[in-house]
């Protein structure tokens, strides 16, 4: 979630590590069943803070920000690392890259809704609590995210069905 949102593996790892430390520092005494939603709230806030600081840092001097090529792919290889069929691996990697690109193009709030609802499996109510917004906002962000991703992956999706 962090890597796709910030498009830099090292920054994403720093954000996740800081979020984990914050969770332990602030909420170690909470019951374990509350840790997961608390962690994602902390992580979501940290991602938003990162984007705000980047906007301030590079707002006036945007030509200083690294290009997408310098940042690398937003999603690491999710494919099975065992080589089984070269052509299948090429197709799988292409699909992963296209999905990463589609998700990266979403707004930060749409990315949050997409990751929390689709990838992490949180309910609309839980996602609203984590994102500190209404359930209606979550539904709107998630719907727009899905529509955008499906639009960008339309031909890929159609090939599968």
> How far is the C-alpha of 108 from the C-alpha of 45, rounded, in Å?
11
> How far is the C-alpha of 95 from the C-alpha of 55, rounded, in Å?
30
Cα–Cα nearest to 19, from 56, 52, 46: 46
pLDDT at res. 138: 94
pLDDT at res. 135: 94
Other C-beta atoms closer than 10 Å to the C-beta of 5 total 24
Domains of the chain: 1-73 (no CATH), 84-161 (1.10.10.10)
pLDDT at res. 62: 42
Hunting for tokens 């499996």 — which residue is that? 121
Note down pLDDT in tens along the chain; length 161 residues.
888 788 888 998 999 999 999 999 999 899 988 888 889 889 988 888 888 777 665 544 443 344 444 444 334 334 444 455 566 666 666 777 787 788 888 898 998 899 888 878 889 999 998 888 999 999 999 999 989 988 888 755 444 44
pLDDT at res. 60: 42
How would you write the chain as a 3-class SS string? CHHHHHCCHHHHHHHHHHHHHHHHHHHCCCCHHHHHHHHHHHHHHHHHHHHHHHHHHHCCCHHHCCCHHHHCCCCCCCCCCCCCCHHHHHHHHHHHHHHHHHHHCCCHHHHHHHHHHHHCCCCHHHHHHHHCCCHHHHHHHHHHHHHHHHHHCHHHHHHHC
> How far is the C-alpha of 58 from the C-alpha of 8, rounded, in Å?
15
> How far is the C-alpha of 42 from the C-alpha of 18, rounded, in Å?
9
pLDDT at res. 149: 87
pLDDT at res. 69: 40
Cβ pair 101, 140 in contact under 8 A: no
């Amino acid at each position: 979630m962090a890597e796709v949102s910030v498009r830099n593996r090292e920054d994403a790892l720093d954000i996740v590590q800081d979020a984990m430390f914050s969770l332990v520092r602030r909420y170690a005494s909470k019951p374990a069943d509350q840790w997961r939603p608390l962690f994602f709230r902390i992580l979501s806030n940290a991602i938003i803070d990162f984007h705000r600081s980047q906007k301030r840092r590079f707002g006036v001097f945007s030509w200083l920000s690294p290009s997408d090529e310098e940042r690398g792919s937003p999603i690491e290889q999710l494919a099975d690392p065992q080589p089984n069929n070269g052509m299948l691996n090429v197709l799988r990697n292409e699909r992963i890259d296209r999905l990463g690109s589609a998700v990266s193009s979403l707004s930060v709030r749409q990315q949050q809704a997409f990751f929390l609802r689709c990838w992490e499996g949180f309910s609309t109510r839980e996602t609203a609590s984590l994102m500190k917004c209404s359930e209606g906002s979550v539904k709107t962000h998630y719907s727009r995210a899905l529509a955008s991703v499906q639009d960008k992956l339309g031909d890929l999706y159609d090939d599968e069905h």
